Structure formats: structure tokens, C-alpha cells
Structure 1
């Protein structure tokens, strides 16, 4: 139950009613979309149905704004400096990994895609590597191994430990301690691919929304990361490092990142991104100890949480949840993790955000 619903003065601003209307409109959107599919199959003129769909989308956005307050300006992150590198700001490193497949085609068990990321200072990144090396020397006798999901939770390969349950438990405790002791801020985006295709891509309802699953995920994640950078006490410049996947894949990531800094998004301007993010990506192979190991674990947990309609608690989820970025009520880009689309699972998402400290 939200703060609004607990307000002893009732609902003087009508926010609870607006929230209820937004939820009903979200359900109506699904019904209207189904109507459009039936009309297409019947070779019937869809013009009126398309207008209805667009009207519902516009009204839902209005009701959401009434329910959650004023939407902040798209240019809110701009600084009065023509070229950010001239400031010489210290660096915030964002290490990114993914889980699932971003291609639009449906594959059983892979109807979801997630990006997970952790933000660390350079000093804390070095400290993480030292701690990770200590664990690897203790359990494997070398530091060349890489912590990798889902092998870790499935006890596959080196993580089988000869089926020694005591050793397996000790290793899990060591990883839990590594996550708890490392000072990082967590970010991520989970995409429900089938729901996205049905509610947005096929209907073409939002002209600002990219049609590519990966582009949506990186855009939404960086909107939240920039909010974190702009509202942190120490102003840092964001530097992104991805796990390398191959020359072509890395080039594609670089292309979409550059496009984001040139064009911006519906919620953050291009200049807002350029003021807070370095203009190129970095890549690292999956080898040895590196903070991308944390991003790998987070992206897998986020994939499973998204797949389970945000109601489960994957292996490391509670530990990562304690470190998720949260500002104020956590709405409109002020919470580090976003699941999209979310119209039918908002209650579960808001319950999780409240548990992470959002003032809902």
C-alpha cells in the first residue's frame, strides 16, 4: 500500500485516483491492442482503432504524471561547461554485462533480456579485484578463473567442487561476502520481449521509443546512471566498460552508445548525456578478476527476476537490492533498476522499490 493510500487526510490531490485510472488504461491498452489484431485478421479498416490506441497511451501518460508528480525537464542534467573533459573530474566506472538475447525473435526460455551494471570508483575496482583473487586462490589455487553465471549456481565445471556440499556452501558464503563488502551502486534493465513486441513494437504507439531491445535497455539504464552522477555529492565522469563479445558485437555497442550521446532520449537530452559520460566505450575479455564479474551476477539475477514477473528472489538478489540506486520516490528514472514493459506488474515492482528505500 502506498503512502497516498495511508494518508490520514485522504487523497486531496487525487493521486490515488489518477494511479487507479492509469492502471485501468494500461489494461484497456491491452484490450485495444487485441482488437487491432482481430481487425487486421478480418482485413478491416484499423484507422479508428489506431487512433484509440494512441489516445489511450496519451491519457495514460497524463494520469501517470498526475499520480507521480511533475516530470522533470529533459535538460535537467546539463552543466555550464562546453567540454566536460576540461573539468578533470574523477571517474565513476560503470561495468556492464548482459543476460539473455536481445534479438526480437522468441525462443522458449529466452523471452527476456537484461543488462546489469555496477558503478565503482577506480580505487574500489582495484580493491574488488584483490578480494576476488583471494577467493580464487583459496578455492581454486589460481587467479585465472572468472566467476561466471549461471555456472556458479548450477555447480557446473570448477564450481562443482566434487559434489562437496560443505565446500559449495563455503564458496557461496565467500561470494556473498564479496558482494556485501564491495562498495558499488547497482543499475539494470530487464526487457520482457514478448510484452514489448505486443504492446509497443507492433502497435507503433510511441514514436520516441526505439524498436531494438538492446537500444531500449542501454538507453533506460544510462538515463538512471546519469541521474545518479548528476545528483551525487562528488561530481564524477562516467566511464563505461562492457564485457567484450567479439569485434562486430563490440562495434555495434559502440555505435548505439554514440547514437545515444548524439541524439539523446525522450527523457534525457544529448547534451545531458555528454556532460556526464565519456564519449567512447571500453571492452574487456572474460578473463581473471574484474568488476564485470559483479555485473555478470547481477544481470543473471535481474534476468530471472524479470522472467518471474518481479516476484521471485534469485540467488544474490537481496544482496544486490541493498546497493541499488534510489533517489526520492524512485519514480521517473530515480531508481537504478527498470523492468519494461511493466503495466501489469507495477505492484510487485513498487513493493521491491519500497524495500530498497524508495519514498513511495
Structure 2
């Protein structure tokens, strides 16, 4: 899913952090070039994360560089330790002159080495890496006094003693989610190579597959972990881009990375559905049509009886079509911001769903376990 970071780039630029994106882009490209040489790669890792960091692979170090955006979908530029706003305010400020980076960033005028120096001296850098990767890196030798103080008094319980960036998670929630995307979903968050690149190229698709195998080392031998996630089967089963179940309200954030995989997606590869705020009635289920995903064809005479039976059962669960989505796109918002009453721009989405649900409750028959009028 190399497009995960596209909404991050878009949101940061829309929010006034375009200079920061350009400097991150320049710094990441420079570090990718450095890591092409094994000896220089070790020196770079030691410079950024201290003793023991040089034993990590380029892909492992790429994960460390990616933690800058781990909080994006939950908070946008805000958040706690390691927030995008905190990092960008630091990297875009010249502490000697007190000036802020111009629109094109510092790299264009001061050079990329200046940007690397800014990055490595960010007070929360090592703390952000350790917090997100369960590592215990000491941090850069040239880091600020504030950085070393934070590390010495950190309340975080690290999973390892050294700067190991490539451990498997022991958190139950992380394990269950990883199993889902490694087997069914394929939600791989790897580098968006190109003009908007924000994370290292060493965080690539193969690295994401390797992580699945690291988390579940006996997955393949047990037959429970496929070589790649069965995303095609998941989309075929549930309808993919053209899923149109009745009495469903689609809501999402403008800069939510998850939007890229939903019918609300505005990516080049998406069909770009038409949106409507007209509430569907009980008697108006979506118009069914064959899905545009894969080779799913109701009229294929070569389908065997089992496939026909499965499809007939599936049509009783979900409708597929190309009609407009009853939806609301929350502006300047990220993941699930429509649920947060503190997010004012999400109020129209909440009100629209409230109005729709009030009418839709009449669509359901009375009595326990009664199905809705339309599926």
C-alpha cells in the first residue's frame, strides 16, 4: 500500500507544513543514498540512534525513520511525544537565527546536511523511535541535552535492552491486527516512491512481507500464513469498490490514509464514486451490477456449482453497484474524526447519520433476530 502516505503529504501541505515535507523528502533520499554503502550505512545508524543501531538492517532503520508518521491517522499533526507538529517546528527552525524555513524548505538553500543535523538533534527523536518500535536505543551522540534527559527518565518499558529495531510485537492488539492484514487485508504501509516520498525506500513491500513472517515465524509451515495476503479473495467476497449495502452511511476524513482503500478514495486507481447526502429510503436498495474488481462474473458458464452457491449466498448479504454513495467526507480530518465530538467539522456527518438512522429504524421488522427489509 505505497499510497498510505499520500494523504499525509497532502494533509501536511494543506496544513502549512509544506516546507517540512520538502525537507523530510530531501533527507530521506539522502539517507537512502548513504545506505547503499554498507560502511556508510552503519555510520548513519550510529549517528542517528547510538550504540547498537548499526546492527540493524536498512529496512529496520527505515522503520525508525517512518515513526514520524505513526500518529498521523489518529492525530494529524498533533499528538503526544513524537507528533508531526513538534518535529516539523523543530526541523524548520534555525535556532541560530531564529528564522523559519521558506516554502521550499532548508535543503534547497542550506543543503541537506543541515536538515540531517536538524533531524538528529530533535529532542524527542530517540524517544519516539523507542516508544513505537519497543526498542531501547540510547539516541544520537550529537543529540541535545533534552534528548538525553528524556531517555534517562523515560517511563516507557522497553521490550529489549539494546537498539534492536526489528523485534516482533508482544502486544495482543498488535498481534491480532497484524495477523488480519497479513492474511486477508494486505494493509502494507510502505514507501511512496516518487515526488511525495516521505519514508525510506528500504521500507518496501518485501519488507512488509518479511515483517509478517517475523511476527509469525511458524505461519507458513502451519499453513495459516499465506505467502501474500489474500486481498483479492477478500474483495471478491465483500464486493470491493462496488460494494453497496443498503442502509449504510459512508463517512471518512479528507486526509485519512484509510480513505485510499475505501469507496471514498480519490486515488488515481480508484473509480471515484459520486457522493450524495440524500438519505436512501427503506424501499430503495442500491442498484445491483457486476463488481468491477477481479473476474467475478455471475453469468460465467464455467463457474462450478460450489461457486454459484457461494455467489447466491453472497448476494443475500451485499449488493454491488455503481450508484452514488450516501456519504460525507469530513474536511481537514483523519481517521475516525467523525466520531469525535471535539472535531467541529465532523458535526454534519454525525447529524446526517442521526437523521438517517431515525428513518432507517423503520426499515427493520419488529421482533428478535428479524432481518432488515433489504440486504
Assess same fold via TM > 0.5: no
Instruction: Tell me which interval the TM-score lies in, with the shorter structure as reference length.
Output: under 0.3
Larger radius of gyration: 2
Report the TM-score, using the length of structure 2 for normalisation. 0.21
Q: Which has the higher contact order (CA 8 A, sep 6+)?
A: 1
Report the TM-score, using the length of structure 1 for normalisation. 0.22
More strand by share: 1
